[in-house]
Chains A and B, each alone.
Chain A
Amino acid sequence: MAEKRLGEDTVLFSSFPSIIATATTVGKKEGEGPCAKYFDKVVRDPLYGEGTWEKAESKFLLESVRKALEKSRLTYDQIHFMFSGDLLNQITASNFAARELPIPFYGLFGACSTFTEGLTLGGMAIDGGFAQRVLVGASSHYQAAERQYRYPTELGIQKPPTAQRTVTGAAAVVLGKDGPGPFLTAATIGRVIDMGISDPMNMGSAMAPAAVHTIVQHFKDTGRNPDYYDMIITGDLASVGKVLAEDLMKKEGYDVSDRYTDCGVLIYKPDADTLAGGSGCGCSAVVFSSYFYPLLQEEYRRLLLVSTGALLSPTTYQQGETIPAIAHAVAIERNWPEGEW
């Protein structure tokens, strides 16, 4: 069997796990942003016809799961595992969506890094021969996150320009052992990094070092350079964290400025509501699944997707703890890298 580990923190997928289909469902504000035309469905009602924000979030996820299955022309019994997570306490948006689905379920919490955490684990399940096809999902919801992490939605407060807006939206991705690509080729699993930021209204600064650590580790482990990739995409550092990440990368000796972007920057038109940009599990999930996935057939051959998560809770920041952060990187390529490993 081929070696599946490389360097310290990187795994190699040796059996061609392929992204067969993706689907996205997003809210109104996301549907007015620059990625608007790439989403499968834009739902203008933040309650999505349900009675609570939390139920609405589950429905966003379910809608995406059903759409992804429809696109991949698979039935539930052909999906061996579902990996999904969100920001709500006890990841209830995912749990309650999975309640409606006849698929064995793994619930994940990686805060906003959940999407690449799911892709990594899904890829491993396929590569290990434990599954033929898996579903990976991630969701977040602005109002549900606001009331849990910050203040009631109707409270009249002003946020600082470093604050980010939680993306309302969910993406679902079907991975399969057999497929035409694009393929997951490698993943670098992040470590939890805490650089002492404690302001929950400045998560970009808290997460940038974790993203940079994972990306640098990925280059060291694989021996690749930034120019191996057409684009390096972080999850939700937004405008504040993106600039810091770029500078931290330079300090580490890697200039990525010509091929680096961030989903938190891409998802919104900047305004007084979105401030520094988007955040949430849904952010990198919907931007990758709608905008970048099709581009892998056209413009891009190789992407490094690095979803970033801030691992805080309202309890920890009220107790004065700093914000630990994590980032997982997944290399996604149009063609299988022949004989390179």
Chain B
Amino acid sequence: MDFVYAFLLGGAICALGQILLDLTPLTPAHVLVLFVCSGAVLSGLGIYEILIDFGGAGATIPLPGFGHTLASGVIQEIEANGFWGIFSGVLENASVGLVAAVVIGLVISLLFNPKG
């Protein structure tokens, strides 16, 4: 069943993105920025956890999930280390994805050329 919920929630978030792209003058970059910020805010409000409980990867794989990863890291670090956790926590949980993206990106650019 978790696959079905992931499909439904993930699909719904992407469909929302499509509506924004087609009905507003926002570019893909604008929509991605909007999504990551919304994810961080919803995470701060404690709402994103509920979405993850429902949809699992359907909530973590779309970009708002990345915003949640950023914000949840900050809150964890604040709980553990106080004020400076606001700074040290931002990349606490996001580091895996971010470093993977940079290193994999670099390797792929060594191996491939644009096909056009």
Contacts and interface: CB of A to CB of B under 8 A. Distances in A.
Interface of A: 46-47, 53, 142-143, 152-154, 157-158, 160, 199
A153 B25 contact: no
Contact of A46 (B22, B25, B28, B116): B116
B116 A199 contact: no
B8 interface: no
Contacts of B114: 143, 152-154
Contacts, number: 16
14 contacts: A46-B116, A47-B116, A53-B116, A142-B116, A143-B114, A143-B116, A152-B114, A153-B114, A153-B116, A154-B115, A157-B28, A158-B21, A160-B22, A199-B25
A202 to B, nearest CB: 11
A158 B19 CA distance: 13
B100 to A, nearest CB: 19
A119 to B, nearest CB: 30
Interface residues of B, number: 7
Contacts of B25: 199
Interface in B3-27: 21-22, 25
A157 B21 CA distance: 10
A46 B116 CA distance: 8
Interface string B82-116: 00000000000000000000000000000000111
B33 to A, nearest CB: 15
A157 B29 CA distance: 10
The 4 closest A-B pairs by CB, nearest first: A143-B116, A46-B116, A153-B116, A153-B114
A63 B28 CA distance: 38
A80 B116 CA distance: 37
A172 B96 CA distance: 54
Contacts of A152: 114
A143 B114 CA distance: 10
Nearest to A151: B28
Interface string B38-71: 0000000000000000000000000000000000
Contacts of A143: 114, 116
A160 B28 CA distance: 12
